[in-house]
Amino acid sequence: MLSVGLTGGIGSGKSAVSALLTARGAAVVDADVIAREVVAPGTPGLARIVAEFGDEVLAPDGTLDRPALGARVFADEAARLRLNAIVHPLVGEQTLARMAQAERDGVRVLVHDVPLLVESGLGAGYHLVVVVDAPVDLRLARLEERGLPREQATSRMAAQAGDAQRQAAADAWIDNAGSRGDLDRQVRALWDERLVPFSDNLSEGRPAPRGPVHLVEPQERWAADGVRLVARLRHLTGGAEVEHVGSTAVPGLRARDVVDLQVTVADRAAVQALEPALSAGGFPRRRDVTGDHVRAHPDPVAWRRHVHLSADPGRAADVHVRVAGSTSARASLALRDRLRADARAREEYAALKTQLAERHADDVDAYAEGKSELVVRLTAQAPGG
């Protein structure tokens, strides 16, 4: 089951996106709905809130007076943390139960609508994170139309993550500053071009298709993509050492639009043991690769690795699983660091990559193997190489 975390600042239109995804076939678990259910009259959650904040947070009919509670906790960080300590575990328990039921029911794409996904650091637990955004003035206007006073709306925005934090967490970004038709087109494209193919690839245990070998100019997003994928892989592997390596980890270097990541583990048994978790997390293994493309080295055992490729059609990534301290693992880091630090080495490497991309546009293995002698030389010359 493909799990998608959906989030956005208050007033961004996240609920509208959630409804459009539901209409296209996604199952949605809404954190706000669950948060209301766990504090309904007669629940232990409501009793604990009243015990903590007093009867003044109750409406005359015995339900939770959410505006009164909101006005209190969004202006008081300590109070907000006390409320979260009550509500979040209850919401988490119900959320896990509903996700498990969805998987048992055969759901293919599950969307978890979470207002505080970024603030809670939950992004690494999903296959994808989708962020909905809109300008602050527009969000404030929407909230005022719903009856939320501007002061309270501003206070709630201030308590949430900023745009930069959301951008760093986003695998996909939806701009909800335009018309409903604009929003529908973006959601349709996300569904048809990314979520459905990703779900199909995940179900079949296959990577997303790759085009020919093609070098592009350095992309600013590579660094942020690397950080996000490193966090996701650490989550999938239970905290293994993960590094962004390869050309996309070297600022200013032309490269294939593929993020390379290295996972290092204690031994060969651990390499094998990670395969199920990586595959379930959207990185199926390429079984015909057992080592690096190195002919110039006398000991091929030193260059062993497993390779897992991303099943996400929107973000090509190669995950290289190696034994910590092996020649292969050390060389991967040494090459990255040498290219970052040495302009001449970077120029030599870039020139060779350009030649090989032109010569082997339809054969990524030949492209990789063509770099092997230079890789061995550069890493041997690097400190500790």
Q: Report how far residue 311's alpha carbon sits from residue 229's, in angstroms, rounded to the nearest whole number.
A: 13
- Residue 74: its pLDDT value, please? 79
Q: What sign results for the dihedral spanned by CA atoms 317, 227, 203, 113?
A: negative
What tokens does 246 get? 């390869």
Task: Spell out the domains of the chain, with CATH numbers in brackets.
Answer: 2-204 (3.40.50.300), 215-381 (3.30.460.10)
Q: How far apart are CA 228 and CA 241, in angstroms?
A: 14
Task: List Cβ neighbours of 255 (8 Å cut-off, separation of 6 or more).
Answer: 215, 216, 218, 222, 246, 247, 248, 353
pLDDT of residue 183: 97
Comparing CA positions, the residue from 247, 215, 245 lying closest to residue 346 is 247
User: Is residue 217 helix, strand or coil?
Assistant: coil
The pLDDT value recorded for residue 126 is 97
Res 18: pLDDT? 96
Say which residues have a Cβ less than 8 Å from residue 232's Cβ, sequence separation at least 6: 123, 124, 281
Those residues of the chain that have pLDDT short of 70 are 294-300, 381-385
pLDDT of residue 385: 45
pLDDT number for residue 353: 96
Helix (H, G, I), strand (E, B) or coil at 260: strand
How many other C-beta atoms lie within 10 A of the C-beta of residue 385?
17
pTM over 0.85: yes
Express each pLDDT in 197-220 by its tens digit. Answer: 999 999 999 999 999 999 999 999
User: Which of these, 166, 351, 339, lies nearest to 260 by C-alpha position?
Assistant: 339
Contacts of 84 (CB under 8 A, 6+ apart): none
